[in-house]
Amino acid sequence: MDSSENQKNKTSLKTLVVSFWTLISRIFGVLRDIATTYILGAGVAHDVFVVMLKIPNLFRRLVAEGAFSQAFIPVFTEYKNNQSREELKKLIDLTFTAISSLVLFLCVVFMIFAPGFYFDPLKKSLAIEILRITFPYLFFMSLVAFFGSILNSFSLFSIPAATPIAFNLSLIIGAIFFTDYFELPVLAIAWGVFIAGLIQFLINIIPIIKLKLLPKFKFDFNHPGLKKISILMLPGILSGGIIQINILIDTIFASLLKTGSPTWLYLSDRLIQLPLGIFAIAAATVILPALSNATAVKNDLEFNEKFNWALKFIFIVGIPSSVGLYFLSLEIISILFLRGEFSTSDALMTSYSLKAFCFGLIAFMAIKILNVGFFARQDPKTPMYVALISLILNVILNWLFAFQFGYGHVGLAIGSVIAAVVSFFILIFILMRRSILILEEKSMIFLLKIIASSLGLLALLIGFQTLIPNFLDFSLLIQIFNLLLIIFLGAFVYFGLMFIFGFRMSFFKN
């Protein structure tokens, strides 16, 4: 096996490792949502908690999965390949000092993220109390993201990918075992967020110590490496986190709609995050150091091969995921959340926004990969301009669909989808025009095979809903069995058709 083939195998293996741990984390995330919706339903307390939780989660996604890692890893990789160990350690110390200072400043402005609550005294009081409890979590997560980026640069992907499991477990334990000790059950869950931040910090600092890269406070804001990271990061806050910023805008608008809207939007977003996190974020996490390294050694062939592989991977899993989530939305939501304080009406409302998000899932996923192409080349400005267009478009569309056309929380999802689709086409056009991405031969034929196989999956799902029209009338055990059966059959039909069209599972190895 030649060196190029070996590198491909390593990249695909690392992607699968990150996907595995992300899958486990997302499963625990769903269990967390089951616990919180059972206790809180879709009422005022859960609405407030959802919006307040958006604050640390937005920061985690922007930093851990977006702007910071996309700015830091290319520069860190450059120093690791071309500078001494002492210079590398100095860059870590200075970056640690800068990000620690930055996060303390950012925390004080986070209350603006739920303006709708200021018109309701009860919601405002509860929001302030929850934010005070969860405030330190933001600081812990900034350091977790920083440590995770260092570990990823050394190809140590498992610990950063598995870390969110601790967050979900902490909230589950708080919801199940400690709500009886608080006058308001939601406060037990808020304290779970605080504990989760501390645990995740401790998990990630141990391998950093083993690498002998434990950072120290050191000030030198004129350091060229730190300046380069800052230049890449500032526009990256927009370009790297475009999806999360758009969803945050949805949350802001949702807090102005009727009670239940933030919860419905949050749960549909959580389900969309399953394929997005398991596949797109996992691939982007692995491909960024790989593309950065190819750029550092000026290997354009390797850069393009891995870029093409990542995009094909996204379309192979993204299109059937969209079809499945759309047609099984109500069934999935009912099995997961329809109990306790969460009503049939809540399940139906959540399914509407989930269906809307499904139309943009492939764009959400692809944007993660396309942005990596720019950041690996240390060009954050182009995706920043695209992100600005998307943000402006999203705000306008939110106002139109949610308020003017009266679609409520579903209109917010539609606005995000349209904005993401526009961004996708702009990004891929620029990448191809600049020859950063050169699509391989027969890419269009490959896409048509995926679409044809997805149509076979679509026919199966329509047949399933025709044969079992009263899915929710069955017991929970029978519902779970039927859902698992149709998912298994769907995967068999989809990959069976792909096999007939010439696709082989060795793709995931190569």
Residue 284 has pLDDT above 80, yes or no: no
Q: Which helix (H) or strand (E) holds 97?
A: helix 85-107
Q: Which helix (H) or strand (E) holds 158?
A: helix 158-162
The model's pLDDT over 196-209, given as tens digits with 9 standing for 90+, comes to: 989 999 999 999 99
Residue 120 has pLDDT above 80, yes or no: no
Please tell me the distance from the alpha carbon of residue 161 to that of residue 156, in angstroms, as a whole number.
Answer: 9
Mean pLDDT of the chain: 83
**What confidence tier does 1 reach under pLDDT thresholds 50, 70, 90?**
very low
Residue listed under structure tokens 């929970």: 476
pLDDT for the residue 366: 94
Please tell me the distance from the alpha carbon of residue 302 to that of residue 97, in angstroms, as a whole number.
Answer: 35
30 vs 60 pLDDT, higher one: 30
**What confidence tier does 110 reach under pLDDT thresholds 50, 70, 90?**
low
In sequence order, what are the residues at sequence separation of 6 or more whose Cβ sits closer than 8 angstroms to the Cβ of residue 237? 62, 66, 67
Please tell me the distance from the alpha carbon of residue 47 to that of residue 66, in angstroms, as a whole number.
Answer: 26
The model's pLDDT over 4-56, given as tens digits with 9 standing for 90+, comes to: 555 555 555 666 777 788 778 888 888 888 888 887 776 777 777 776 676 66
187 vs 318 pLDDT, higher one: 318
Please tell me the distance from the alpha carbon of residue 148 to that of residue 105, in angstroms, as a whole number.
Answer: 22
Per the CB < 8 A criterion, the answer to whether 314 and 299 are in contact is no
Residue 240 has pLDDT above 70, yes or no: no
Please tell me the distance from the alpha carbon of residue 428 to that of residue 448, in angstroms, as a whole number.
Answer: 18
Two tokens, residue 376: 């690996």
pLDDT for the residue 153: 80
Residue 64 has pLDDT above 70, yes or no: no
116 vs 455 pLDDT, higher one: 455
Please tell me the distance from the alpha carbon of residue 187 to that of residue 201, in angstroms, as a whole number.
Answer: 22
pLDDT for the residue 121: 66
Question: What 3-state class would DSSP assign to 239?
Answer: helix
What single letter denotes the amino acid at residue 193? V
3-state secondary structure string across 272-334: HHHHHHHHHHHHHHHHHHHHHHHHHCCCHHHHHHHHHHHHHHHHHHHHHHHHHHHHCHHHHHH
Residue 2 has pLDDT above 60, yes or no: no
Q: If we measure between CA atoms, which residue out of 100, 398, 78 comes closest to residue 251? A: 398
pTM, two decimals, is 0.75
Lowest mean pLDDT among 216-225, 244-253, 273-282: 244-253
pLDDT for the residue 222: 84
Q: What is the largest CA-CA distance in the chain?
A: 68
Measure Cα distances from 52 to 104, 117, 133, 343 in Å. Answer: 17, 11, 11, 23
Mean pLDDT (whole number) for 344-352: 94
**What confidence tier does 146 reach under pLDDT thresholds 50, 70, 90?**
confident
pLDDT for the residue 449: 95
Per the CB < 8 A criterion, the answer to whether 279 and 318 are in contact is yes
Please tell me the distance from the alpha carbon of residue 413 to that of residue 161, in angstroms, as a whole number.
Answer: 27
Residue 239 has pLDDT above 70, yes or no: no
10 vs 360 pLDDT, higher one: 360
Mean pLDDT (whole number) for 276-297: 79
**What confidence tier does 186 reach under pLDDT thresholds 50, 70, 90?**
confident
38 vs 432 pLDDT, higher one: 432
| 381-398 helix and 242-254 helix, angle to the nearest 10 degrees | 20
> What Rg do the C-alpha atoms of the chain give, in angstroms?
22
